[in-house]
Amino acid sequence: MTASDLPAAVRSLMPRARRELAELVAFPSIADPALGLDEECRAAARWVADALRAEGLTDVRLLETPDGTLSVYGELTGVPGAPTVLLYSHHDVQPEVDANAWASPPFTLTERDGRWYGRGAADCKGNILMHLTALRALRQTGDGRLPVNVKVIVEGSEEQGTGGLEQYALAHPELLAADAIVIGDVGNFALGLPTATASLRGITEVRVEVRSLQGNLHSGQFGGAAPDALAALIRMLATLHDEHGATTIAGLPGDQSRPGVDYPEERFRADARVLDGVELIGTGRIADRLWARPAVTVLGIDVPSVEGAASSVQAGASALVSLRVPPGMTIRTAQDALVAHLEAAAPWGVQAVVTRLTGGEAFSAETSGPAYEALGAAMHEAYGVEMGVCGMGGSIPLCNTLRTLYPRAEIVLIGVEEPSCQIHAVNESVDPVELERMSLSEAYFLRNYARSWSPTA
């Protein structure tokens, strides 16, 4: 095969991609120590290591990172005068949430209505297969050689946010050095619309605990005068949004905007599966609400369940609160404001303790360099339409670590996780056509970047 045969090469590799994605999805690699799946996570890491070795990568290693998880590293270098590209993804996944709510077993890749379903099928094991398929296609059409020097790093705890790979990279700064970095952990703005993600929101979390009584009380005997901790917590959480549902935390602006693609309301309602008659929250452009402004979410509340609940005034209640932080705002500033807001909102003199949890900073990419030019040409060649640039509301803290370590490297974010994938939800899936086109896009990108790059760029 020649370089012009890349589409045919990628297409011929898709049955292998499906088979291997099924093998990888079969590992319930949830990096939560409480679930006792450490061996499954390590098995997934070993699978990735074996796959890299099979593609001829050298120095393949299982990296024991400080949070106790395994990341996988490999490289294929030795192309004189060519740039070095780092390809990133992660092999850990989110919990299945509710196995009974899945239409098929969450850790069995199942084809249905033209899509492949399974936890991690898109986020992020589908992106691992994107990297592998792109490298295979390039080697098939290049007499076994690649046009660039390649490093691959596959993280083992991205979903848990414990920062193992970030800490490892800071301690071994030479390991991941590259001229361009491809973060394979996002997706196109919409199915079939090639997109580069140029910004990510940061994230910070707090736990708020409210106490009002020494113990629960009979609601008939004491209700109406005894301060209910659950009612107090509800009032506190309600102050985090205005009447339109927009985030309103004292001291944080909420009217920012960003350039780039818009997000039509009809498309968003379909992507988010909003029920008929239910209004969206916030005001202004959808894109601004998602990518340019802070957004607070109550992730969980510790209270008695409805079934089996007693007629009691609650003595205590707690909640986990997440705040997404837009570029241009530090997580410390945002967390300070959130803590102060919740403390000030506590009614009736109840005891409210707000505990700060970890987080990651927002990220903005530089989109004017040779890597982005090569990516735009690659996506146009693969999809037949111009590449769009958008933000994403999620967070990938490693991006800022890589920027700190390698300030001259361009960081591009692509992947197979378009909105229909429903990542982190039940019935996660990947579109095999999207996987094929994104694999082709990455192969074209590596070829184009090798041609356009110069050491002085």
The catalytic site residues sit at: 92, 158
Distance CA 392, CA 215 (A): 44
CA distances from 36 to 31, 140, 159, 238 (A): 9, 40, 16, 36
The structure tokens listed for 29 are: 């690699």
CA distances from 374 to 331, 367, 379, 416, 456 (A): 33, 11, 9, 19, 16
Contacts of residue 385, defined as CB under 8 A and 6 or more positions apart, other chains included, come to 193, 194
Handedness of CA 390, 391, 394, 398 (dihedral sign): positive
The reply to whether omega before 41 is within 30° of 0 (cis) is no
Distance CA 145, CA 136 (A): 10
CA angle at residue 262 from 258 to 266, to 5 degrees? Answer: 140
The structure tokens listed for 42 are: 């390590």
Q: Among candidates 324, 327, 316, 323, which has minimal Cα distance to 338?
A: 323
* CB contact at 8 A, 396 and 153: no
Distance CA 92, CA 101 (A): 21
Q: Among candidates 203, 238, 425, which has minimal Cα distance to 319?
A: 238
**In what helix (H) or strand (E) does residue 19 lie, and over which residues does it extend?**
helix 6-25
* CB contact at 8 A, 430 and 421: yes
Question: What distance lies between CA 63 and its chain's CA centroid?
Answer: 21
* CB contact at 8 A, 161 and 358: yes
Name the one residue in this structure whose structure tokens are 């409805």.
306
* CB contact at 8 A, 29 and 41: yes
Handedness of CA 279, 283, 287, 291 (dihedral sign): negative
